[in-house]
Amino acid sequence: MNIVLLGAPGAGKGTQAAKLVEEFGTPHISTGDMLRAAVKAGTELGKKAKSFMDAGDLVPDDVIIGLVTERLGEPDTEKGFILDGFPRTSAQAVALDAELSKLGRPLSAALLIDVDSEVIVKRLTSRRMCKECGFIGSEANAQCPKCGGEMYQRDDDNEATVRNRLDVYEKSTSPLIDYYRGCDLLVSIDGDRDPNAVYADVKKALEL
């Protein structure tokens, strides 16, 4: 199960990845987490990445690909991996394919959690988080159902920001969806349903 996870912000990628990790123990590899860990550990690639991050620039493809390749060389990925947040462009997808080919571990699927953008706008603008324990709920939760803490709306969950994030996603990721469709690897799942129903379809599509 070597998977690339695709989907707009708020589509529910994290929820589905967490379910796969829980049931199958497959490592969930988030490039954001990896970058932060490499910087903290002070590795060569981490130092390179930090100089770009400190300047507010995008980390170049070769550094990201180096980090991903390094991570995929670790023993826990031998039974599979779920890549989240990478690749972000067609060029990165081509480079990833080349590295996986060298490792003899090609992708089994590019899993797209597909949700209409208007549904995502509604979903994210009504999202609320607990200040105490981080529980994610909705505007229906006046207080946290887990710990009773105060619920608040994140700054980036306002409508203008959400729409901007969706525009950026659309421009950068649409070519990627076409790329994986062309490679016959794209698996599209309707994400606008109960997460358990979505997960049942994910497992079916991945033949798990």
**Residues with catalytic annotation?**
13, 88, 127, 154, 165
Cα-trace Rg, the chain: 18
Closest CA to 83 of 98, 104, 100, 101: 100
For helices 159-182 and 117-125, angle between their N-to-C axes, nearest 10 degrees: 140
